[in-house]
Amino acid sequence: MKSVGVVIVCRYNSTRLPGKILKKIEGKSILNRIYYRINQVISQNHIIVATSTEESDDRIEEFCDKNNIQCYRGSLENTALRFLEAGDQLGTDYIIRINGDNLFIDLDTFSKVVDISKKGNYNFISNVKDRTFPYGMSIESVNRDRFREVFHKNIKSSSHKEHITLVLYEFPKLLNSFFIYNTKVPRAKGINLAIDTPSDFEKAKLLVKKIEHSKKDYSLSNLIDLYFNISDE
């Protein structure tokens, strides 16, 4: 059985929504909410936040220290290297990449990615291919040693350094891959649940408020139903 860890990749600065990772919804920051959901499946010692060495990201490290969350600080521009080094700090066989604007992680899909990673039959497991899941629900797991090989041999361009797994989609034969597709909620395809702009944040606040006040869970079907209800209001 292989060990699995999670790297939450985030920065404090954002061109369109500065400080979004620590913005609060219903009393809890986005980072806190992402961490809590992941922690339902993965133990605390196998979760780490990867941010940069920029002064603005001191706030993220301070938040992590206050909440007893592991934090790694690395390259600002080479996000792929930062991700890999944070994974090295965890030391797990597989590392799952979660973006800091991915508030609405589907735990059923996340658990499936974890289970497949533990079996160790594939080096890259992803629900991103063909975008059958909404934007903002991306879950990608890589075998840490195999990804290190890819990093040193194939990640050279600035776009590959910035977009951690881009090279694995452009050259799918680099790693033995397994792709997960959403077939249960087809109307979820193309929906944006990522938090990049003030309007995204306002919609996220409405979704969280409605789902928590209704005491429903954060399943994909519930989220999409509420998303369309809000859009129709």
Q: Find the domain containing 228 and state its range.
A: 4-232
Which single residue is written with the structure tokens 């597989």?
A: 94
CB–CB of 70/47 below 8 Å?
yes
> Which runs of E-coded beta strand occur in the chain?
4-9, 24-25, 28-29, 47-52, 70-74, 94-99, 124-126, 140-143, 177-179
CATH of the domain at 222: 3.90.550.10
Distance CA 127, CA 184 (A): 14
Give residue 232's pLDDT.
61
pTM of the full structure:
0.96
What pLDDT was estimated at residue 233?
A: 58
Over the chain (233 residues), the average pLDDT of each successive run of 10 is 98 91 96 97 98 97 98 97 98 98 95 98 97 97 97 93 94 93 95 95 95 89 91 62
Helix axes 30-39, 107-119, angle to 10 degrees: 50
**How many other C-beta atoms are found inside a 10 Å radius of the C-beta of residue 163?**
15
What is the predicted pLDDT for the residue at 14? Answer: 84
Q: Which residue type sits at 192?
A: N
Predicted pLDDT of residue 81: 97
**In the chain, how many domains are there?**
1
Count of C-beta atoms within a 10 Å radius of residue 74:
17
Q: Angle of helix 220-232 relative to helix 198-213, nearest 10 degrees?
A: 110
**Cβ-contact 81, 103 below 8 angstroms:** no
